[in-house]
Chain A
Amino acid sequence: MSLFKLHYNLEKHSIGLVLGIILAASVGGFIEIAPLFTIDETVETTDDMRLYTPLELAGRNIYIREGCYACHSQMVRTLRDEVERYGPYSLAAESQYDHPMLWGSKRTGPDLARLGTKYSDDWHVAHLTDPRAVVPTSIMPAYPWLNENEAAIDDLPAHLATQQRLGVPYTDEMIANAARDALGQASPDSDWAEGVAERYGEATNIRSFDKGERLTEMDALVAYLQVLGQMTQAPYQTPEQAEQ
């Protein structure tokens, strides 16, 4: 067989073997991944897609830091029971500005893609501080340090600028005001609050999320949790169709 004859030669030449491996291993990935970057066809267009405010972005980074993705997915699949349990299935557009995505792979706890507005801020604060005080049989760890740690906001302009470089449409004004906007979002009576609504829309949640004076990591994380599934109204407008 000539194929084995070819191999007989290949296994005597290490560079030939190396090239063969690279070639064989490149095809699949290339065919599956490259077309996805024709974004128009992969990601739906929405006209109301909002951006994370600096405080929400800080909260998202805390969510990542604590490894929440290991137990909670943010992806409602197109299955009837999931749509009925969680809400409309997730659209690609909803995570188009998520660097990285947090779709997850395991639900030790429930899916969080539609968590925003489902519970009150107080519930979230109590639940994160001591999950079993709110849900007696929960197996979630407690995160009491979120109440104690002050939210880091000084480097938020740099975070927004990095995101802008990656294609998230933050304006230069948003970048310049990032730290002030983070403070303003959690203190509605302050002078900075107005700017937040101006830059991120009237629908932005402007309130103290943990009811405290200081801007804590709890404020940031709850602000983030409250916008999950609220970045665009598009999924709620498509007729619900799920497989099965």
Chain B
Amino acid sequence: MIARLTITERQLAIVLAGLLALVGLTMAAAARQGPMAVHGFMAIAIGGALASAVIGKLYAPEPSPERLSHYYDDPIKAGILIAMVWGIFAMAVGLWVAALMVWPEATFNQAWASYGRIRPVHTTGVIFAFGGNALIATSFHVMQRTSRARLPDQLSPWVVLVGYNLFCLWAVTGYLMGVTQSKEYAEPEWYADILLVVAWVIYFVLYLRTLARRAEPHIYVANWYYLAFILVVAMLHIVNSLALPVSFAGAKSYSLFSGVQDAMVQWWYGHNAVAFFMTSGFLGMLYYYLPMRAQRPIFSYRLSILSFWGITFFYMWVGSHHLHYTALPNWVQTLGMTFSVMLLVPSWASAGNALMTLNGAWHRVRDDATLRFMFVAAVFYGLSTFEGSFMAIRPVNALSHYTDWTVGHVHSGALGWLAMVTFGAFYSVIPALWGRERMYSARLIEWHFWLALAGLLTYVFSLWNAGITQGLMWRTYNEAGTLNYSFLESIEAMRPYYIARFAGGALFLSGIVVGAANIWMTVRGPRGTAADRPLALQAAE
């Protein structure tokens, strides 16, 4: 990969890696000890390793200028492999977290292994590390192909990848050491937040620069979704993470907001992370890879326009449905509920659009597990958005909130939609990226598909039952007019469901392991004769 950088780019890469090491050194020196110092040393190690790798090949032969007539795929390949590694790691941790609900002693009395610390390792790992790398990698792919333009330079995609993954590493290792700001899905502390903003701004600028070079007059649908994802996630992240550090030499900070305002800002962030990270970004994926794989155009272009603006506008109102019956003013709760229900229109427009695109290609869905991944993803997107709108209705929420139904709902989205569409996209793109005719084994894709689907269904059904049982037990009265069950009885009733959840998680995890093995064999396998879409001619830089 270094061989494909020019000497000037290699020199600049060394400077940037050195800069990263310097930032790490400053952090380590300021903090002297504790998690922030550890994170400083991690930055030094990564910066140093990158710098020495490039220095070792500094005077290797330069690439031919002919490279500019191809797409720049190295960072996409790296992103996909990194996403798979994170995926296995984070889902394995998830399995452990699920096991703790059945066998609470499985922490071995180690602080780092206790439930409260590894649970965010799982959530951040899946959403941000696995999902984020998948989004970054596929967005690099989609924006080049749909713009018929090469990435504007060869360094900034690497800066985005390295910066983003260092953020994920800081976040995950931080939780193990007890560094968290306790805002769900935004647990990393202030210095990690700053790193994310830097990486994210470079990502956004890179996206715009690629679009500016496009040879197509129109910006393709998938790019709108990716753009909304990048832009709005930046808005959400910056506002929700506003905090005052106790000292610049320490990890601890206090949120700028308190109490009811903090709760609203948190769930405005929390639900829109679902909207723009886990929905908008992955819809971008769906809108490119599904039609490509099905070899059919999108069913309705106008429907895409309506659903895009509907999602962008409606979603931002709905966060307050996480705060029904709380001390948040009633009018905000009502607004959140109303918009949550209206959100069903653009959500189902997207899901319907995807399914209608498959109309006429059902034989491909039947025969091709890769396309079937994306089909199931579209179905589960439709199902979980329906479930979400339903759960946002106040009386339903009274039952479902605080129970495992919420956890089941999140996983029907995360496993059924987000992970499924990612696997479909990966299997669609990997052979072409590595110049192979097809994936190493079609049978292993089938295995992955059925393991994932079985795991998903086991997981979702067990937690659906768990949540409703819990909710009903909490509010059941006996004939004397007093509460019928103690809280503890409701916990004891969960045991069979938690065991089933563990089994579902194990199935899903074994699926991704099979998938990773298949991807690895494809990458290592012999070169085929796959052809890439042509790049538009453009002047050399």
Q: Which residues of A contact B (CB under 8 A)?
A: 4, 7, 11-12, 14-15, 17-18, 20-22, 24-29, 31-33, 36-37, 41-43, 61, 64-71, 73, 75, 77-79, 81-82, 84-85, 89-111, 131-132, 135, 137-145, 155, 158-159, 162-163, 165-168, 243-244
In this complex, which of A14, A21, A96, A165 has the most chain B Cβ atoms within 10 angstroms of its Cβ?
A21
A101 touching B180, Cβ below 8 Å? no
Residues on the A chain within 8 Å of B105, using CB: 142
* B464 CB to nearest A CB, Å: 15
Does the CB pair B228–A11 fall under 8 Å?
no
Cβ-defined partner of A42 (8 Å) among B212, B261, B266, B339: B261
Residues of A within 8 A of B488 (CB): 135, 137-138
Q: Are A95 and B264 in contact (CB under 8 A)?
A: no
What B residues does A89 contact at CB under 8 A? 327
CA distance A12 to B224 in the complex (A): 11
A37 touches B258 (CB 8 A): no
Chain A residues within 8 Å of B477, by CB: 81
Q: Which residues of B contact A33 (CB under 8 A)?
A: 261, 264-265, 268
What residues on A are CB-neighbors of B119 within 8 Å? 67, 70
B325: chain A residues at CB < 8 Å are 77-79, 243
A107 touching B313 in the complex, CB below 8 Å, given contacts A21-B227, A25-B228, A32-B336: no
A-side contacts of B309, CB under 8 Å: 20, 24
A56 to B: closest C-beta gap in Å: 15
Flag if A143 contacts B314 (CB, 8 Å). Answer: no
Let me know if B260 is at the binding interface, CB within 8 A: yes
Q: Which A residues touch B253, using CB under 8 A?
A: 162
Task: Please determine whether B115 and A18 come into contact, CB atoms closer than 8 angstroms.
Answer: no
Distance in angstroms between the alpha carbons of A73 and B327 in the assembled complex: 13
B91-132 to A contact mask, C-beta < 8 Å, 1/0:
000000000111011010101001111011000000000000
- A61 contacts across to B, CB distance below 8 A: 252
Q: Shortest distance in angstroms between A61's beta carbon and chain B's nearest beta carbon?
A: 7
Residues of B within 8 A of A (CB): 100-102, 104-105, 107, 109, 111, 114-117, 119-120, 175, 178-184, 208, 211-212, 217-219, 224, 227-228, 231-232, 235, 244-247, 250, 252-266, 268, 272, 276, 302, 305, 309, 312-320, 322-329, 332, 335-336, 339, 398, 401-404, 406-407, 474-475, 477, 482-483, 487-488, 491-492
B498 to chain A, nearest CB (A): 8
Residues of B within 8 A of A145 (CB): 109, 111
A137 B492 Cβ-Cβ under 8 A: yes
Query: In the complex the two chains form, is B483's CB within 8 Å of A66's CB?
Result: no
Listed A/B pairs (17) with beta-carbon separation below 8 Å: A14-B227, A18-B231, A27-B313, A28-B315, A31-B335, A32-B317, A32-B332, A77-B324, A81-B474, A92-B259, A97-B258, A102-B182, A109-B487, A109-B491, A139-B102, A140-B104, A143-B111
Complex formed: what's the CA distance from A127 to B181 in Å? 25
Contact A12 B218 (CB under 8 A): yes
Residue of A nearest to B100 (CB): A141
Residue with the greatest number of chain A CB neighbours at <10 A, chosen from B217, B263, B268, B487: B263
Query: Is A100 touching B219 in the complex (CB atoms < 8 A)?
Result: no
Residues on B with C-beta less than 8 A from A77 are 324-326, 398, 401
Given known A28-B317, A36-B261, A36-B332, contact A67–B115 (CB-CB < 8 A) = yes
Known contacts A32-B264, A77-B325, A99-B255; is A25 also within 8 Å of B235 by CB? yes
Asked if A137 and B491 make an inter-chain contact with CB atoms under 8 angstroms apart, the answer reads yes
In the docked arrangement, what's the CA distance between A77 and B228, Å?
34
Contact partner, B316, options A29, A97, A109, A138, Cβ 8 Å: A29
Residue of B nearest to A60 (CB): B182
Residue of A nearest to B305 (CB): A7
Top 6 nearest A-B pairs (CB, nearest first) are A67-B116, A28-B316, A28-B317, A77-B325, A95-B259, A100-B255
CB-CB < 8 A to A14: which residues of B? 208, 211-212, 219, 227
Q: Which residues of A contact B244 (CB under 8 A)?
A: 162, 165-166
- Which of chain B's residues have a CB closer than 8 A to the CB of A138? 104, 488, 491
Cβ 8 A contact of B257, one of A15, A99, A106, A141: A99
Contact of A37 among B261, B332, B406 (CB under 8 A): B261
- Residue of chain A at shortest CB distance from B207: A14
Contact of A101 among B179, B258, B482 (CB under 8 A): B258
| Given A105-B184, A145-B111, A85 contacting B487 (CB threshold 8 A) | yes
B98 shortest CB reach to chain A, Å? 12
Contact A107–B117 (Cβ < 8 Å): no
Complex contacts, B102 vs chain A, CB 8 Å: 139
The reply to whether B258 and A25 contact each other, CB–CB distance below 8 Å, is no
The docked-state distance in angstroms from the alpha carbon of A97 to that of B259 is: 7
Question: Is there an interface contact between B182 and A69, defined as CB atoms closer than 8 Å?
Answer: yes
Whether A92 pairs with B406 at a CB distance below 8 angstroms is no
* A32 contact set on B, CB distance < 8 A: 264, 268, 317, 319-320, 332, 335-336
Of the candidates A7, A18, A69, the one whose C-beta lies within 8 Å of that of B227 is: A18
User: Known contacts A105-B406, A138-B104: does B327 contact A162 (CB below 8 Å)?
Assistant: no
- Complex Cα distance, B218 from A133, in Å, reads 66
In the complex formed, the residue of B with least CB distance to A162 is B246
Given contact pairs A33-B268, A108-B491, enumerate 16 new A-B contacts (beta carbons under 8 Å): A24-B309, A25-B231, A25-B312, A28-B316, A32-B268, A36-B261, A65-B180, A68-B116, A75-B326, A79-B325, A94-B259, A94-B327, A96-B258, A100-B181, A100-B262, A100-B266
Nearest chain B CB to A116 CB, angstrom units? 17
Indicate if the CB atoms of A107 and B322 lie closer than 8 Å.
Answer: no
Contact status A67-B235, CB under 8 Å: no
B217 engages A12 (CB within 8 Å)? yes
CB nearest to A8 among chain B residues: B218
Contact A244 B227 (CB under 8 A): no
Whether A66 touches B313, Cβ cut-off 8 Å, given contacts A81-B475, A100-B262, A139-B104, is no
* A22 CB contacts on chain B under 8 angstroms: 231, 235
Q: What CA separation (Å) do A175 and B250 show in the bound complex?
A: 19
- Minimum CB distance partner of B265 in chain A: A33
If A75-B327, A101-B266 touch, whether A95 touches B258 (CB-CB below 8 Å) is yes
CB distance from A237 to the nearest CB of B (A): 16
Distance from B122 Cβ to chain A, minimum over Cβ atoms (Å): 10
- Complex-state Cα separation, A106 to B120, whole angstroms: 14
- Give Cα A198–Cα B505 distance, bound, in whole angstroms: 54
**What is the CA–CA distance of A97 and B401 in the complex, to the nearest angstrom?**
25
Task: Kindly list chain B residues whose C-beta atoms are within 8 Å of the C-beta of A70.
Answer: 115-116, 119-120, 184
